[in-house]
Structure 1
Amino acid sequence: MAGLMNVFDDIRLADEEIFQTIASSESVRIERIISNGQASPEGFYYDQDEYEFVLLLKGEAVLSFDDSGSVRLKEGDYLIIEPHRKHRVEYTSKPAIWLCVFYR
């Protein structure tokens, strides 16, 4: 099948997280993120204009929110982060593979 790809192909581990846009339109962006033990810088919180559907495909991670504490994710866990809900990455395993869908 032409165009067939696999989200687990070409997994490279690096000192920095790897962000890869899989597909996008005016209102939706789908990214694969490969983490290798990274966390957000101390005191930094993401504050995004769009919704974010987060699915952890492989590994483990901990996200924290400025309004409600932390959540530990394991393989297969997902959540939706509302616009402007401040959050940060506290921990990622080596590796952690995410599928994130940003939408308006």
Structure 2
Amino acid sequence: MSASLFENLPERLRDEWFDTLVEAENVTVERIVSRGHTSPASGWYDQPRHEWVVVLRGRGVVAFETGEEVTLGPGDHLRIPAHCRHRVAWTDPDQDTVWLAVHYD
């Protein structure tokens, strides 16, 4: 089945929007849309699987518990090892930031 990653995006976003595109035993592929959203201030993501993320449109900053911050724009990608504590520190409030995230073992 063919589809575009830029179609059917929500017009209004109260929270970041997660859309699971593919799910199998060892992999999950998600489309994430942010519009000025950040991770909850109450904590860090500490995921049991590795994550590879690419920004398709927009801009965002991923912060790590170590203090490192990585700014990502269209085409930029990042591998986040399992249990590497991280959060989304910033996304562009003036446009959609469309991420593609692949979670795998």
Q: Give the TM-score normalised by structure 2.
A: 0.92
Matches within 5 A, 1:76-91: 76-91=75-90
* Paired position in structure 2 for 1:20: 19
> Do the aligned residues in 2 keep the contact of 1:37 with 1:92 (CA within 8 Å)?
yes
Separation of aligned partners in 2, 1:71 and 1:54: 12
Figure out how many residues of one structure are paired with residues of the other and give that number.
102
Aligned partners of 1:57 and 1:97 also within 8 Å: yes
Cross-structure match for 1:54: 53
TM-aligned CA deviation for residue 41 of structure 1: 2.0
Q: Structure 1: where are the runs of 5+ without partners? A: none
Task: Give ranges in structure 2 of 5+ residues lacking alignment.
Answer: none
CA distance in 1, matches of 2:44, 2:35: 19
Q: CA deviation at 1:54?
A: 0.3
Q: CA RMSD in A?
A: 1.0
Identity of aligned residues (%): 36
Give the letter aligned to residue 5 of structure 2: V
Give the superposition deviation at 1:68: 4.2
Normalised TM-score (structure 1) = 0.93
Q: CA offsets per residue over residues 2-38 of structure 1, 9 Å max, x none?
A: x211111111141111100001101000000011110
Offset, 1:43: 4.3
